[in-house]
Amino acid sequence: MRDAIRARSVSAAAFCRELREAALPDDVDVVVCPPYVSLAVAVQLLAGTEIAVAAQNVHWEGEGPYTGEISVEMLLELGVYGAIVGHSERRQHFGETDHTAAHRARAALAAGMFVIACVGETEEERETGQTDQVLRRQLSAFEADDNLVLAYEPVWAIGTGKTATPEVAQEAHLFIKSVLDVPVLYGGSVKPDNAAVLLSQPDVDGALVGGSSLDLESFIAICRAGANIPS
C-alpha cells in the first residue's frame, strides 16, 4: 500500500470525477475516505477504477440503540471497501479509546473489510520519553491481519504544520513493525515537498494524507512521489 487519501472536501463528487480522469501512477494504491454523506457518490463515481473507497469510521455493532453510528453492514451495502479506525481526532474529540478502536477494527475485519488503524503519541508524551510505551499500548489493541494496515500519525503533527523528520518517522515505523508485522503508513502534514523523503524510508509503506489531499494536484504529486520510490 503506497498511499491513502482522506478526502474531507464538501465537493467530494467533483474531486472524485477529476481523480478518476487523473494520470495516477500504476504502482500506487489509492484509497479515498470521504465523509459518510459522500460515500455513495464516491463509490459510484470511482466504480471501474482501481481507486478504493473507505469510511472515516465504523461502528462495531450490526444493529441496536446506537443513534448516529454507521455499521459494517451499512458500509458494505454501499460498496465501501474499508474504514479508518482510531484516528487521533476521534480519540481527542469523541472519546475513542484503544478498546473501542479495537472493537471497530475486529468487526470490520471479520466482515472482510480493509482497515486502516491509527496510532500515535501526543507532543507531551514524546517530550517525556513515552512514545514507545504509548505506541505499544495502542498496538496491543490490534492483531495482525491480511486486511489490516496501521497508520502512524504523531498527534503533534496533525493539522499543526509540523512534520516528523524522516529519521523520527523511520524510528517509529520500525518500532511499530517490531510489535505488529503489518504495513505502516505515515500521517502527519504530508505534502508534495516532503513526501518523497518520508516515503523513501525503509519502513514507511505509504502515507495517510490529510489537508494536502484536498487539492487534487497536490495529492497527485504525492502519489507520484510514492511511485518513484524503489520497492
Residue pLDDT, tens place only, 87-113: 999 999 999 999 999 999 999 999 999
**Mean pLDDT, all residues of the chain:** 90
Which fold, 4-227? TIM Barrel (3.20.20)
List of long-range contacts for 187-190, beta carbons under 8 Å, 24+ apart: 187/118, 187/120, 187/151, 187/152, 187/153, 187/158, 188/120, 188/152, 188/153, 188/154, 188/157, 188/158, 188/162, 188/163, 188/164, 189/157, 189/158, 189/159, 189/160, 189/161, 189/162, 189/163, 190/163, 190/222
> What residues act catalytically?
87, 153
Furthest CA-CA distance within the chain: 49
pTM for the model stands at: 0.91
Q: Is the pLDDT of residue 230 over 80?
A: no
Cα–Cα distance for residue pair 109/83, rounded to 1 Å: 10
Domain range annotation of the chain: 4-227
> What does the pLDDT average to over 17-35?
90
Which of 122-136, 187-201, 216-230 is predicted with the least confidence, judged by mean pLDDT? 216-230
